[in-house]
Amino acid sequence: MKKQIGFIGLGIMGKPMALNLLKAGQTVIAYDINKEAVQEVVSLGGVDATSLEEVAKQSDVIITMLPSAKHVKEVVLGEAGLIHYAKAGTIVIDMSSLSPVDSLEIATALEQKEMAMLDAPVSGGEPKAIDGTLSIMIGGKPEHFESVKPIFDALGENTILVGDNGSGATAKLANQVIVNLNIAAMSEALVLATKAGIDVRKMYEAIRGGLAGSAVLDAKVPLILERNFVPGGRIDINMKDITNVMDTAHSIGVPLPLTSQLLEIFHALKVDGKSRDDHGGIVQYYEKLANVEVGGKNVESTKL
């Protein structure tokens, strides 16, 4: 069923998602402080909204895809927020990566205004946002999920209702632990192989079909070998997610020793000016320790 969809946040992930909704025949009312991104969506059939009020009044469903909880709360609950203008029955789908606490706070406030919220963070990065094959983990009421499922189907190939509000956000935290620790472990291995003097590309081909193989390995190793750290998932955004992981874990009594070390690695990369690199750039932390460069000029390669 065709719906009027407000889409707020047309960044690395949001813009291709909005374009996929247009391709699926939905009406997209676009809003972002980046007017060039808005105009690109408008040029392909979207509707330009000049304010949050305009988005709210025109939309049946509103999607937010923003950098942090601060931005989402301001857009939804702030003085000029959606909550003041959207009609009863509106469903807000937050596809950002928030903590479960923040997601529940927003959901509760919307419910008091006879609106609904689904927390629906995504995984897959920019490539899967572009081709519409994101994994989407969703928290909320089953009836609300079913009413907007065609929207999710236009954006992803694996859309799962995990549980009630906050469940999608929690699933995303778990996802971020697995993805980023996988990148860190992979980075250690690549630096080890580089320092030992073997052909890293051939090593990658040798191990990718075994138990060490993973979607992360296939997505990140070729880019690292090309020294391509153009962000699909930025280090600073992932650092925000891992900070949420640690806060949530500590609040429920779950020690996460490996994840806590990962957070320190992110902070070190931020200090080193790498915060806007793709999170595949975690490898640069290990390269600096070992004084080598994977896929580049090795400063001190030691052949076995």
For the annotated catalytic residues, the residue numbers are 172
d(C-alpha 291, C-alpha 282), whole Å: 15
CB-count burial class (<10 Å; 0-12, 13-18, 19+) for 205: exposed
Query: Which residue pairs from 194-197 have beta carbons closer than 8 angstroms and sit at least 24 positions apart in sequence?
Result: 194/290, 194/292, 194/293, 194/294, 194/295, 194/298, 194/301, 195/290, 195/292, 195/298, 195/300, 195/301, 195/302, 196/302, 196/303, 196/304, 197/298, 197/301, 197/302, 197/303, 197/304
202: three-class secondary structure by DSSP: helix
Give residue 135's Cα distance to chain centre.
Answer: 10
**DSSP class per residue in 57-77:** HH-SEEEE--SSHHHHHHHHH
Which amino acid is residue 181, in one-letter code?
A: L
Supply the DSSP symbol for 84. G
Buried-exposed string 58-68: b where 16+ CB fall within 10 A, e elsewhere: bbbbbbbbbeb
CB contact set of 125 (below 8 Å; sequence gap of 6+): 13, 219, 232, 233
